[in-house]
Chains A and B, each alone.
Chain A
């Protein structure tokens, strides 16, 4: 075990997407890290700074050569894609997520140099059902395993990571389960959802949601790479927001949709290119999910700067009114109510 972490060589997968790209840039700027190798199948659209970019497909055994040649000692797997549209469909998404992870872990297993693996996972592994506890701790498992989509991929990814941990017990493995990452710059299915002109909400449900700000997510990953924590850690901002509350904060009207009609509506949203939601995300919108973040503070030693609400408000600043009249309606109602309230208050004061 090399204790001197001065010359860390970090391999980051998925640098062409927002989080991976920014992480690679920050890592390269960090004094603890000597060299950063960014890997993705498409060239990064953003500036990677000091980080080097190597075009390599993690679904291909070539990744082993990259690790060997670069003398990599820390691998950050940030290439588990949440939204099928961003990967070019469900099939490539699954391939990148599952086969990519398998190949990457196989390469790590063969490697002599790798000492540390950081996996960016998700809260979706906990699923979302009415039988869930209010807050999931790291040792809990899903009450009903997500049957499709990103959640299922993530569970498989974590399964492979556990298998890898068994085969290479000498490598420190840190799995970070992030709540929905949100912020002014990142684009996910949840940001698309709250960008809809009218937000469809499951009828009769008001799910609790947790968010983590994009800056906090990057800081947590940075801390995970340079720190010594291992195991599984939940990462989420403090507090919860409900779906309707969030809709109120982005100042969008919502429409109640029966859960039975949610499937066709999701399909329509996908066709129109508005939002891409899988079945497990629909149940998330109905039943919600919360994660306990004690381990985040105690094991990872990280505390987010943004609470769930602050993160969401930061995102909501960037949501422009798609249809100004709709925004005006909510504004008008608020305005009339405010005026009436002031008048009543004035009248009451006058009487007393």
Chain B
């Protein structure tokens, strides 16, 4: 017995010492201070092994709200080995662990893994349930241990005999077998009342960490709201005071206070939904919530007050179903596409949203790309256009592309080449009408009098403009000049009558492209004739 105990003790020195220190703190058992004496050594060993097994058992229970003090640090120690993570598996694969495992017979590995998996499968269940799902061999051990469990000290001696059967050549000095057998002893090391008492005593003295704070409830918006409103006393008063102040300020400034309040309420509602992610984005990235609350309101002053856009021919845009808006593109800063979209959204009786098609450079550029997608733009590819038309969307295309935006001022209102006519074949395929659109006024917002080609090449952009204000005034030069705009939506060109397979006819596509181009060019000339001046 003595030899066995010392051997076992030496193998579990670490645990024993930790236990001993724990014991040292408890005033009830001062004997633990002298681990040299035989009896205390014995109890210490028993406790240590029991604790070890307890640790193993409680590993899945790591998430339990209040683990008792003796077990508290044990799961943390055991965790990396107790729960084979996939990272560990990978590491094992790399470090030759796999080869070692391959050498071992499969059966034991399967049993072990089954045991661990069953233990893992029922994390919140009490330890006894995991015992029942263990293999028969361990059950036998359990029975044996349970039989000898009341006598705590005898657990170590009886358990191995029960586990291995009657045939046992000699006492095994290694702690392996005994620990395995006494694993079950860890379930109930002492009576619950004694355990609670001991735990309390231990907790009183082993104040390692404060008791875990109650876990915050699930992210429920209403719950967090009340939570957060409480700790700041008088937040309601504060807010209502500021709202009253705003009402006063609004009255002073000559606005209607109700209007101001409505705006504030809308803004707050917007912010809240953004914070909580409570909005939806379609497959092209169009964020209706963002567009309706940020993009269109942001551009409205520019549209109404700055450019004073005059819109003609709105009746040519269908109330529903697909249509293709084809427009000229100009102005160095390509905000004409935004203004066309704004015009359709604000002035059309159905407030339709134009889905503009952009070059890949747009979507490559940080902020611009994200902004464009949120506003409903997508990449100018056949796949996307077909998809948009299939959904009955209003698609806007600016076939001149960068050639149109980056042309010198002296070539203003001269349409550039219209790409390869891909937009026409897309419209033909879908059978949607083409609406030629002319924008007058955009050419003058930033007259391009020069192009820094080297800079453009260095930056990888199609052009680097010199305008009367741009490099001269720095960022201020990016402010567009307040020209007066006219947007005219022309009579729709029907494509459905050309029938199936018309999009595969290049001659027809080129003809239609030219027709659209000529229509826009002629409209531009006539609008220029009608315009009184550039700025009025």
Question: Which residues on B sit within 8 Å (CB–CB) of A288?
Answer: 285
Stretch of A115-123, A173-181, A324-332 that contacts chain B? A324-332
A137 at the interface (CB under 8 A from B): yes
* Separation of A27 and B137 alpha carbons in the complex (Å): 30
The verdict on A343 contacting B243 (CB below 8 Å), with A130-B363, A334-B221, A351-B258 known, is: yes
Q: What is the chain A residue whose CB lies nearest that of B388?
A: A134
B121 at the interface (CB under 8 A from A): yes
Question: Which residues on B sit within 8 Å (CB–CB) of A330?
Answer: 275
A265 at the interface (CB under 8 A from B): no
Question: Which residues on B sit within 8 Å (CB–CB) of A331?
Answer: 219, 224-225, 227-228
Q: Let me know if A204 and B369 touch, CB within 8 A.
A: yes
Q: Let me know if B360 and A344 touch, CB within 8 A.
A: no
Question: Which residues on B sit within 8 Å (CB–CB) of A338?
Answer: 221, 225, 268, 272
- From residue 206 to 227 of chain B, which have CB atoms closer than 8 A to chain A? 216, 218-219, 221, 224-227
CB-CB contacts of B267-282 with A at 8 A, as 1s and 0s? 0110110111101111
Q: Let me know if A43 and B113 touch, CB within 8 A.
A: yes
Q: What is the chain A residue whose CB lies nearest that of B261?
A: A348
Q: What is the chain A residue whose CB lies nearest that of B90?
A: A88
- From residue 255 to 270 of chain B, which have CB atoms closer than 8 A to chain A? 257-258, 261-262, 264-265, 268-269
Question: Which residues on A sit within 8 Å (CB–CB) of B280?
Answer: 239, 309
A255 at the interface (CB under 8 A from B): no
- From residue 189 to 220 of chain B, which have CB atoms closer than 8 A to chain A? 216, 218-219
The verdict on A47 contacting B117 (CB below 8 Å), with A324-B216, A343-B236, A348-B258 known, is: yes
* Separation of A53 and B221 alpha carbons in the complex (Å): 46
* Separation of A217 and B88 alpha carbons in the complex (Å): 25
Question: Which residues on B sit within 8 Å (CB–CB) of A339?
Answer: 225, 229, 235-236, 239
Q: Residues of A within 8 Å of B, CB-based: how many? A: 74
The verdict on A47 contacting B114 (CB below 8 Å), with A134-B285, A343-B240, A344-B261 known, is: yes
CB-CB contacts of A264-290 with B at 8 A, as 1s and 0s? 000000000100000000000001101
For A134, A137, A328, the residue with the greatest tally of chain B CB atoms inside 10 Å of its CB is A134
Stretch of B101-109, B457-465, B501-509 that contacts chain A? B101-109
Question: Which residues on B sit within 8 Å (CB–CB) of A348?
Answer: 258, 261-262, 265
B136 at the interface (CB under 8 A from A): no
B374 at the interface (CB under 8 A from A): yes
The verdict on A89 contacting B120 (CB below 8 Å), with A17-B86, A130-B360, A334-B272 known, is: no
Q: Among B109, B112, B219, B378, which residue has its beta carbon within 8 angstroms of that of A134?
A: B378
B84 at the interface (CB under 8 A from A): yes
Question: Which residues on B sit within 8 Å (CB–CB) of A208?
Answer: 281, 283, 285, 373
Q: Among A46, A87, A135, which residue has its beta carbon within 8 angstroms of that of B387?
A: A135
Q: Let me know if A259 and B279 touch, CB within 8 A.
A: no
* Separation of A140 and B116 alpha carbons in the complex (Å): 45
Q: What is the chain A residue whose CB lies nearest that of B91?
A: A88
A212 at the interface (CB under 8 A from B): no
A44 at the interface (CB under 8 A from B): yes
Q: Let me know if A42 and B89 touch, CB within 8 A.
A: yes
Q: Let me know if B265 and A334 touch, CB within 8 A.
A: no
B511 at the interface (CB under 8 A from A): no
B379 at the interface (CB under 8 A from A): yes
B384 at the interface (CB under 8 A from A): yes
Question: Which residues on A sit within 8 Å (CB–CB) of B235?
Answer: 336, 339
CB-CB contacts of A67-96 with B at 8 A, as 1s and 0s? 000000000000000000111110010000
A4 at the interface (CB under 8 A from B): no
Stretch of B92-100, B159-167, B438-446 that contacts chain A? B92-100
Closest approach, in angstroms, between the C-beta of B377 and any C-beta of chain A?
Answer: 10
Q: What is the chain A residue whose CB lies nearest that of B109?
A: A43
Closest approach, in angstroms, between the C-beta of A203 and any C-beta of chain B?
Answer: 6
Q: Let me know if A85 and B87 touch, CB within 8 A.
A: yes
Question: Which residues on B sit within 8 Å (CB–CB) of A202?
Answer: 366
Q: What is the chain B residue whose CB lies nearest that of A210?
A: B283
The verdict on A347 contacting B275 (CB below 8 Å), with A43-B109, A45-B116 known, is: no
Q: Let me know if B275 and A333 touch, CB within 8 A.
A: yes
* Separation of A132 and B361 alpha carbons in the complex (Å): 12
Closest approach, in angstroms, between the C-beta of A206 and any C-beta of chain B?
Answer: 4
CB-CB contacts of B234-255 with A at 8 A, as 1s and 0s? 0110011001000000000000
A299 at the interface (CB under 8 A from B): no
Q: Among B93, B265, B276, B363, which residue has its beta carbon within 8 angstroms of that of A92?
A: B93
The verdict on A134 contacting B283 (CB below 8 Å), with A203-B366, A205-B370 known, is: yes
Q: Let me know if A205 and B264 touch, CB within 8 A.
A: no
CB-CB contacts of B59-78 with A at 8 A, as 1s and 0s? 00000000000000000000
* Separation of A42 and B90 alpha carbons in the complex (Å): 9
B364 at the interface (CB under 8 A from A): yes
A113 at the interface (CB under 8 A from B): no
* Separation of A248 and B219 alpha carbons in the complex (Å): 11
B110 at the interface (CB under 8 A from A): yes
* Separation of A208 and B235 alpha carbons in the complex (Å): 37
Closest approach, in angstroms, between the C-beta of B206 and any C-beta of chain A?
Answer: 25
The verdict on A45 contacting B366 (CB below 8 Å), with A88-B93, A240-B282, A331-B228 known, is: no
Closest approach, in angstroms, between the C-beta of B522 and any C-beta of chain A?
Answer: 34
Q: Among A187, A251, A337, which residue has its beta carbon within 8 angstroms of that of B271?
A: A337
A157 at the interface (CB under 8 A from B): no
* Separation of A82 and B526 alpha carbons in the complex (Å): 61
Q: Among A41, A259, A332, which residue has its beta carbon within 8 angstroms of that of B93?
A: A41
Closest approach, in angstroms, between the C-beta of B361 and any C-beta of chain A?
Answer: 8
**Could you write out 27 A-B pairs with CB less than 8 Å apart?**
A16-B89, A42-B93, A47-B121, A55-B106, A85-B87, A88-B94, A89-B90, A131-B379, A132-B379, A134-B285, A134-B378, A203-B366, A204-B367, A242-B281, A249-B277, A273-B87, A316-B219, A335-B225, A335-B226, A338-B221, A338-B225, A338-B268, A339-B239, A340-B239, A340-B243, A341-B265, A344-B265
Query: Top 3 closest A-B pairs, CB basis?
Result: A204-B366, A248-B277, A335-B228
Binding site for A on B (CB under 8 A): 84, 86-87, 89-95, 98, 101-102, 106, 109-110, 112-114, 116-118, 120-121, 216, 218-219, 221, 224-229, 235-236, 239-240, 243, 257-258, 261-262, 264-265, 268-269, 271-272, 274-277, 279-285, 287, 360-361, 363-370, 373-374, 378-379, 381, 383-384, 387
Could you list 14 further interchain pairs (A-B, Cβ under 8 angstroms) beyond the known A41-B98, A92-B93, A134-B285? Answer: A47-B117, A86-B86, A88-B90, A89-B94, A135-B384, A206-B373, A239-B280, A239-B283, A240-B281, A242-B285, A309-B280, A331-B225, A338-B225, A343-B243
